[in-house]
């Protein structure tokens, strides 16, 4: 990917708010183990840290700081990357939605954070909070996406952000409120509805990818895809399907617990957005895949 660092106006840096904690069950995990569980938890909708602690709460001691953040040049480049992608994704949707679009930001945190949707840990994974209209991300997620799940490349990382902004689009267009009401009226179909919501967010991520694939964008400071980027994005979508992650976590697949869709479904809908660039092609509710 070709991208240019900006002024970081598309992010909120909350990495200086430190949180100390441990598993209620006293099971020690390395940082890599924790981030592995956050990736699986994000993709399956199950908090595996809570499961490992015997279903108990995670004990935490949170201290907010406004001091300097311990960081590295590589991490700061990732911060600039998130800012650049958020700016570009939002620019695309602003063009598509016109005055209906309302801007959002990515909140970068470490370990845990208090959002308008409640207290969230790294194990929650990247998420969008409709109550405050913000995207939340622990940068450690990206390392596991590449190193443990075989989805390297900047476009794979950008796909994750664009997916979360896809949920923002669902909120702005009323899809989020409609699906919430549907879950309340059909509790037995809640997981199936969640799958359709997540697959649509994948398709919306592809809609941005279609725009970013247009040649000559980098000359005006926009994100521009390079050869191999699309393949990296498709690998990322395939690597975090419910079926694959359930098998990795438990050794078996439970379709009734799917909340994001299979690897094949995620690739299909992400690719649909990539090839068409049309949000109208992302109606997962009318075109259910199995």
User: Is residue 253 included in any domain, yes or no?
Assistant: yes
More confident residue, 56 or 121: 121
Within-domain flag for 4? no
- Whether 6 maps to a domain, the answer reads no
Label residue 34 by pLDDT band (50, 70, 90).
very low
289 in any annotated domain: no
| Secondary structure (DSSP) of 91-144 | HHHHHHHGGG-----EEE-SSEEEETTEEEEGGG-SEEETTTTEEEE-THHHHH
Determine contact, residues 161/85, Cβ cutoff 8 Å.
Answer: yes
Q: Could you list the residue range(s) of the whole structural domain that residue 173 is in?
A: 11-282
pLDDT band at 31; cut points 50, 70, 90 = very low
Domain annotation covers residue 64: yes
pLDDT digits (tens, 9 = 90+) for 67-82: 467 899 999 999 999 9
Confidence of residue 174 (pLDDT cuts 50, 70, 90): very high
Predicted TM-score (pTM) of the model is 0.82
Indicate whether 98 belongs to any domain.
yes
DSSP state of 24: T
Domain count across the chain: 1
**Average pLDDT over the chain, rounded to whole?**
84
- Structure confidence by residue, pLDDT tens digits, 214-272: 999 999 999 999 999 999 899 888 888 888 888 888 888 988 889 999 999 999 999 99
Q: Tell me if 2 is assigned to some domain.
A: no
């Amino acid at each position: 990917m070709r991208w240019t660092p900006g002024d970081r106006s598309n992010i909120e840096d909350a990495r200086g708010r430190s949180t100390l904690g441990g598993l209620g069950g006293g099971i020690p995990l390395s940082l890599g183990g924790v981030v592995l569980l956050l990736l699986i938890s994000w993709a399956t909708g199950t908090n595996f840290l809570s499961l490992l602690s015997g279903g108990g709460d995670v004990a935490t001691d949170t201290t907010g700081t406004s001091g300097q953040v311990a960081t590295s040049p590589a991490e700061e480049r990732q911060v600039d990357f998130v800012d650049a992608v958020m700016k570009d994704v939002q620019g695309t949707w602003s063009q598509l939605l016109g005055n209906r679009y309302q801007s959002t930001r990515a909140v970068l945190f470490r370990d845990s954070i208090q959002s308008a949707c409640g207290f969230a840990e790294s194990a929650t994974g990247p998420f969008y909070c409709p109550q405050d209209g913000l995207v939340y991300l622990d940068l450690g997620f990206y390392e596991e996406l590449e190193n443990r799940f075989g989805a390297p490349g900047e476009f794979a990382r950008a796909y994750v952000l664009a997916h979360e902004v896809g949920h923002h689009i669902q909120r702005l267009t009323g899809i989020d409120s409609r699906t919430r009401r549907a879950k309340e009226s059909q509790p037995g179909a809640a997981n199936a509805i969640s799958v359709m919501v997540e697959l649509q967010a994948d398709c919306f991520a592809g809609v941005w990818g279609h725009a970013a694939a247009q040649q000559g964008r980098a000359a005006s400071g926009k994100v521009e895809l390079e050869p191999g980027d699309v393949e990296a994005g498709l690998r990322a979508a395939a690597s975090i399907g419910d079926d694959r992650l359930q098998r990795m976590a438990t050794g078996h697949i439970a379709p009734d617990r799917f909340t994001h869709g299979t690897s094949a479904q995620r690739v299909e809908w992400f690719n649909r957005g990539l090839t068409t660039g049309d949000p109208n092609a992302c109606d997962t509710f009318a075109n259910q895949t199995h």
